[in-house]
Structure 1
Amino acid sequence: MSGQIKYQWRITKYNPDYRDENGYYTLKEEWTCPSEIGKIIDGKEFTLEEYLDIEAKYIDTLIAFIIESGLNTLRILQLSEQKISTEDRSSVLYETEFDELILEEDKIVTLNDIVIISKMILRNFVHCQLYLKDRFFAHFGWDYYMYIGSSEKSLSAITIATERGLFVEEIDSSPYYFLEEDTTRLVQWSKKENELGMNEGDEELLEFPLEELRLIFNLSSQHPVVGNIKIKIEYKDFFQRYLNHKMDFDKYEYFFWGGY
């Protein structure tokens, strides 16, 4: 994803003074996931109230970075399937607005939407990234790590984060950020009767028109054409032109994959 993302930060509740030479946090036992609510962490119960307080600090910080970057909307990138189960709805972390907000790949979302989406991601109800090409991204990683990239220095947002007790570390690159020249794009296939969906094979796409892929998948010119997308049979002729594998939709399901 090429562009003018000049600054990148890792933002967490973990004090970097207590990382070892390999970057591991060593100060004390810490909760790393909201599923640990109710457990004894470092000698005391990790409460819902404590979780919600930290979550709000992360989301307030993200919104501050977005606003200081001069933005009021972002797009959704690499969206996982939005499927909230009956069990999910019985969780103390579930909110009815999670079902009310319909998420789609490449959809433009407002600041209010981003607050809801961030809750869903941090609470493990859905996964996606938020971005605006060449201007901004927000990535949520394992163990309650948040990564932000911007074209702006965002000094006020950094202050807001630190005042809320979070730690902002400038980094070279988010582990989820990659440039167009680093991107690989494949066609993958699996047998239809394979319930596990394990890949039978894959082949890299080379020298193909990226803009045509955007049209096929109904993506905007902003979208970097990464992620995992099912290939419909009506686009067989397009993909077959760039593959040695002979496509057989009676036998296989086909997926496009793009990433690093």
Structure 2
Amino acid sequence: MHPSFAHRITKYNPADRDEHGHYIGAEDTESDHGPVEAAYLEAIAAFAQESGIDLLEIREPQVAGFVGFGLETSVDGHGLAGLFPSDLTGYYDGAEVSVPVALELVRAMLRDQGAWCRLEQRNTFTVHVGWDQYVYVGSDQPCEAAIAHTKADLGVLDSAAQHLGPLATAQGAQASERSPSQVPSEMDAFGVHGETREDRSESA
């Protein structure tokens, strides 16, 4: 089971998409390390608060090796310095972190600093960071206030809430994998158009 409501948080203007949903604007695919990045984090915090989430579990934690996950150069400590000891004790599958720590993990992922993981609370809340500054938030609550705040005040919500019906849930619809492989077709339930890492130049 996955959360019933899914949202795609993105800085890309939906008006700058072609008829296939591919982004064709000039927005950079890297984090600005500034106000836009802060808007992403504030949006996630708003959804977590309205969903009643205080703790999130780390799932499938990874750190970059010789090849990084994204366009930016990985940093020493993989962006985890100050969050976990240097030996990464506490950064393991199933570890619980507070929402503030989870937001710092998202910041590191947005900056491609070398760490990546899923952040989940069983079947009630998920945060998944995809390629090219796309963040997917799932909740078992409609989060109407968070949607309004994210769209009107922050301007980083791609679309209104989408409700995943029984079919989409049964198919295992979930947020975009941080993988260079093709995004499965069932991702369309989240408003995610199937594209590969190589499609970056035309469909960010």
Answer whether TM exceeds 0.5 for this pair: yes
Task: Provide the rounded CA distance (Å) in 2 between the counterparts of 1:137 and 1:94.
Answer: 21
- Per the alignment, in what secondary structure is the counterpart of residue 51 of structure 1? coil
- Per the alignment, in what secondary structure is the counterpart of residue 127 of structure 1? strand
Structure 1 segment 1-260 matched on structure 2, within 5 A: 2-3=1-2, 5-26=3-24, 28-34=25-31, 50-81=32-63, 88-89=75-76, 96-98=81-83, 100=85, 102-124=90-112, 125-162=114-151, 163-169=153-159, 170-171=161-162
TM-superposition CA deviations, 1:138-167 (whole Å, max 9, x none):
111111001111011111111221201212
Equivalent residues of 1:10, 1:171 under 8 A apart: no
Equivalent residues of 2:58, 2:96 under 8 A apart: yes
After superposition, the Cα gap between the structure-2 partners of 1:22 and 1:171, relative to the gap in structure 1 and judged at 3 Å, is farther
What are the ranges of 5 or more consecutive residues in structure 1 without an aligned counterpart?
35-49, 184-260
TM-superposition CA deviations, 1:219-252 (whole Å, max 9, x none):
xxxxxxxxxxxxxxxxxxxxxxxxxxxxxxxxxx
Larger Rg: 1
Equivalent residues of 1:98, 1:120 under 8 A apart: no
After superposition, the Cα gap between the structure-2 partners of 1:151 and 1:81, relative to the gap in structure 1 and judged at 3 Å, is same
Normalised TM-score (structure 2): 0.67
What are the ranges of 5 or more consecutive residues in structure 2 without an aligned counterpart?
69-73, 174-204
Task: Provide the rounded CA distance (Å) in 1 between the counterparts of 2:104 and 2:96.
Answer: 14
RMSD: 3.1
Q: CA deviation at 1:107?
A: 0.6
Q: CA deviation at 1:77?
A: 1.1
After superposition, the Cα gap between the structure-2 partners of 1:167 and 1:112, relative to the gap in structure 1 and judged at 3 Å, is closer
After superposition, the Cα gap between the structure-2 partners of 1:82 and 1:110, relative to the gap in structure 1 and judged at 3 Å, is farther
Q: CA deviation at 1:129?
A: 0.8
Equivalent residues of 1:75, 1:109 under 8 A apart: yes
Equivalent residues of 1:137, 1:150 under 8 A apart: yes
Task: Provide the rounded CA distance (Å) in 2 between the counterparts of 1:130 and 1:161.
Answer: 20
Q: CA deviation at 1:82?
A: 7.0
- Per the alignment, in what secondary structure is the counterpart of residue 142 of structure 1? coil
TM-superposition CA deviations, 1:153-186 (whole Å, max 9, x none):
111111221201212413466xxxx857659xxx
Question: Which of the pair has the greater relative contact order for Cα pairs under 8 Å at 6+ separation?
Answer: 2
Q: CA deviation at 1:89?
A: 3.2
Task: Provide the rounded CA distance (Å) in 2 between the counterparts of 1:114 and 1:10.
Answer: 18
- Per the alignment, in what secondary structure is the counterpart of residue 26 of structure 2? coil
After superposition, the Cα gap between the structure-2 partners of 1:158 and 1:118, relative to the gap in structure 1 and judged at 3 Å, is same
% identity of equivalent residues: 27
